[in-house]
Amino acid sequence: MPAFLESLPAPLLRAIDRDWLHRARADQLPPCPHEEWSTWAVVGGRGSGKTRTGAEWVSALALGDPAFTAAPVGRIALVGETFADVRDVMIEGPSGLLGLSGRSGRPHWSPARRRVEWPNGALAQAFSAEEPDGLRGPQFGAAWCDELAKWRRPEAAWDMLQFGLRLGTHPRALVTTTPRPIPVLRRLLADPRTRVGRARTWDNAENLAPSFLAEVQARYGGTRLGRQELDGEIVE
């Protein structure tokens, strides 16, 4: 295989290196789109690649990537703890939607309208979990919920989102979060319609500063806080 790769032209090699299906870990790839599931929960430690996973999934749905969806998803909800979290992490952050460089179909971000729009007409709307009633009215074919475990009003925001997930043949949600033992997350993980992916901070070591990994291992390795924030465990 290495000899075959060496025979490929440089532009093709760069394209392969950028391809998410080639670069992603198994825990960062969604369940089969043809299976019966409603929620994909990616539960992981800090820096384990959860944001990149969410951004790639949303981008693939919006552009209609056949490995992720049978058809483009035209309306997607982006829900974070606050609007600033959605903007700074999910959209403008280094692993957010605008950070997925080197590909066609780059979206346009309109902060005033709180919308990310793709050239094919698909759009994602930003919502704050602090304002659950903001999710009344709009309807979606998919949703990405980031850091659900630290939302101040998780039950209300999650419930309002469920009423809006009503477009297409099988609307679905992705939850990316470092866990805490809160009821809504426990119910999600126990639901047979939920598919769960897990990752530890160390799984993404190649993209993290070695000094950071050494420091958190020395300070928090083996502790209750380390098990939650680094290993992605729900700790009572």
What pLDDT is recorded for position 5? 47
pLDDT for 108-159, tens place per residue?
A: 999 999 999 999 999 999 999 999 999 999 999 999 999 999 999 999 999 9
Q: Mind spelling out the 3-state secondary structure of 189-209?
A: HHCCCEEEEEECHHHHHHHCC
What per-residue confidence (pLDDT) applies to 12?
A: 43
CA distance 69 to 33: 6
Q: CB 28: neighbour CB atoms within 10 A?
A: 22
CATH class of the domain defined by 36-229:
alpha beta
What local confidence, expressed as pLDDT, does residue 235 receive?
85
In angstroms, the CA 44 to CA 46 distance is: 7
Where exactly are the structural domains of the chain? Answer: 36-229
Q: Residue 57 pLDDT more than 60? A: yes
**What is the pLDDT of the chain when averaged over all its residues?**
91
For 220, the enclosing helix (H) or strand (E) is helix 210-220
Q: Can you tell me the mean pLDDT for 105-109?
A: 88
Terminal CA-CA length for the chain: 47
Q: What pLDDT is attached to residue 236?
A: 80
pLDDT of residue 9: 63
Q: What is the pLDDT of residues 166-211, one digit of tens each?
A: 999 999 999 999 999 999 999 999 999 999 999 999 999 999 999 9
Q: CA-CA distances (angstroms) from residue 66 to 25, 60, 135, 152, 225?
A: 19, 8, 28, 36, 40
Q: What is the pLDDT of residues 9-29, one digit of tens each?
A: 655 445 455 678 878 899 999
